[in-house]
């Protein structure tokens, strides 16, 4: 198949005031949905606006809350997403939308009032097909603040532009994304066979079709991470496993930064094997000394984690520092383990279970 050089085609120009469709897949978000919806409906854009919420089968009252919000504001449209998969919900919402610009939003995210207006200006000025900004994670508890620091740090998630980039320009992917619907229709919307990493894969197709995906650091979105260690680990394991699946499908279309956590996991496994062989006397003497080199990367990694943890939390105290020291390797090892299994066995029906049965505490 012929692949057009990325960045060579201009996305369609949309007349000002043509309208914007916000799309939001939702599952068990009772603690976050109302504030997220409020920031969407407060967007300062010319022309009509609608928010299409794809409701998965929630168990915490999210559906009832969404119906109440829709009854109070005619701009909110509710559709069912019975299979609960994010890409399915996104596609259902996009197809139900009426306007030529699509803005993906998340119930765990909050937009600045000028987010959509600025993004529309950038879309028009650079003729990009998709524009995204910076994910600024935040937290309320010591644990959630530690996760937020990891999200905001290149050490935590590998230095993708939307985790702290400062230079505008063409990008590999976009956080959430403000997209031209005509381009989405051309490349085929989200791939419903991909349950995690669906945004990266969509942006890969957009770029391969010749369009620009653009990073604009003036755009920022507040993101609230998972609230507990088990949910964080489940989220990152599922994400890592799907990244492994994407490597199976697309090979080196994936950035090199995605390979650091699985290398760490393989190093840890190798170190455990070497340690066992040393303890049982299978290897000794000079060979044991040579094999001990395997511990060096782990020691350096541990020193890095300690240094980051000691510098974390400002004046909030040791709880934040200790949680940071626990969160970073939890993210890296669970993601890396998922990646290795995903590469070897594929993702199959792996889902992110971190929001199933959620009882999120409402934000103030």
Residues 277, 258: Cα–Cα separation, whole Å: 31
DSSP state of 51: E
- pLDDT band (50, 70, 90) for residue 353: confident
Average confidence (pLDDT) over 226-252: 91
Higher pLDDT, 233 or 255: 233
Q: What is the pLDDT of residue 54?
A: 97
Q: What is the pLDDT of residue 363?
A: 44
Picking from 257, 172, 153, the residue whose alpha carbon sits closest to that of residue 212 is 172
Please report where in the chains the tokens 């504030």 appear, as a residue: 35
Q: Any idea what the Cα angle at residue 98 is, between residues 95 and 104, rounded to 5°? A: 65
Q: What is the pLDDT of residue 154?
A: 77
pLDDT digits (tens, 9 = 90+) for 313-352: 554 678 888 888 999 999 999 999 999 999 999 998 888 8
Residues 355, 351: Cα–Cα separation, whole Å: 10
Average confidence (pLDDT) over 205-220: 94
What is the β-pairing status of strands 178-180 and 130-137? antiparallel
Average confidence (pLDDT) over 115-119: 95
Q: Read off the pTM.
A: 0.87
Residue 142 has pLDDT above 90, yes or no: no
Q: What ranges do the domains of the chain cover?
A: 20-227, 250-350
Q: What is the pLDDT of residue 362?
A: 44
* Whole-Å CA distances, 100 to 7, 18, 49, 349: 21, 7, 11, 33
- pLDDT band (50, 70, 90) for residue 119: very high
Above pLDDT 90, what percent of the chain?
71
Q: What is the pLDDT of residue 314?
A: 54
Please report where in the chains the tokens 């229709």 appear, as a residue: 185
Residue 68 has pLDDT above 80, yes or no: yes
Q: What is the pLDDT of residue 165?
A: 64
Q: What is the pLDDT of residue 5?
A: 66
Above pLDDT 70, what percent of the chain?
91
Average confidence (pLDDT) over 12-36: 93
Q: Could you tell me what percentage of the chain is helix, strand and coil, using 3-state DSSP and rounding each to the nearest 5?
A: 50, 15, 35
Q: What is the pLDDT of residue 8?
A: 83
Residues in the chain: 364
Looking at domain 20-227, its CATH architecture is Alpha-Beta Complex (3.90)
Mean pLDDT across the chain: 89
Residue 202 has pLDDT above 60, yes or no: yes
Q: What is the pLDDT of residue 214?
A: 95
């Amino acid at each position: 198949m012929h692949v057009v050089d990325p960045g060579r085609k201009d996305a369609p120009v949309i007349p000002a005031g043509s309208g914007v469709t916000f799309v939001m897949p939702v599952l068990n978000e009772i603690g976050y949905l109302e504030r997220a919806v409020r920031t969407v409906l407060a967007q300062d854009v010319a022309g009509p606006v609608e928010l299409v919420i794809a409701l998965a089968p929630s168990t915490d009252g999210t559906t009832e809350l969404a119906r109440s919000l829709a009854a109070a504001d005619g701009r909110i449209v509710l559709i069912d997403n019975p299979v609960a998969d994010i890409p399915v919900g996104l596609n259902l919402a996009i197809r139900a939308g009426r306007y030529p610009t699509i803005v993906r939003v998340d119930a765990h995210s909050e937009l600045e009032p000028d987010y959509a207006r600025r993004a529309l200006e950038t879309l028009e000025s650079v003729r990009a097909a998709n524009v995204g900004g910076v994910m600024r994670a935040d937290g309320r508890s010591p644990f959630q603040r530690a996760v937020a620091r990891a999200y905001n740090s290149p050490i935590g998630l590998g230095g993708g532009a939307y985790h702290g980039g400062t230079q505008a320009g063409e990008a590999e992917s976009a956080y959430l994304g403000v997209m031209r619907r005509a381009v989405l229709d051309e490349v085929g919307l989200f791939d419903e066979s991909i349950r995690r990493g669906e945004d990266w894969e969509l942006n890969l197709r957009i770029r391969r079709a010749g369009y620009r995906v653009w990073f604009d650091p003036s755009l920022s979105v507040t993101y609230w991470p998972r609230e507990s260690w088990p949910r964080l680990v489940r989220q990152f394991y599922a994400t890592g496993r799907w990244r492994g699946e994407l490597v199976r499908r697309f090979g080196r279309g994936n950035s090199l930064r995605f390979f650091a956590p699985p290398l760490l996991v393989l190093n840890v496994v190798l170190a455990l094997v070497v340690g066992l062989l040393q303890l049982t006397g299978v290897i000794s003497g000079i060979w044991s000394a040579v094999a001990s080199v395997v511990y060096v990367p782990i020691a350096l990694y541990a020193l890095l984690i300690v240094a980051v943890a000691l510098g974390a939390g400002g004046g909030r105290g040791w709880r934040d520092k200790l949680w940071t020291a626990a969160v970073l390797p939890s993210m890296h090892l669970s993601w890396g383990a998922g990646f290795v299994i995903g590469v070897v066995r594929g993702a199959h029906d792996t889902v992110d279970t971190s929001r199933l049965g959620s009882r999120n505490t409402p934000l103030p």
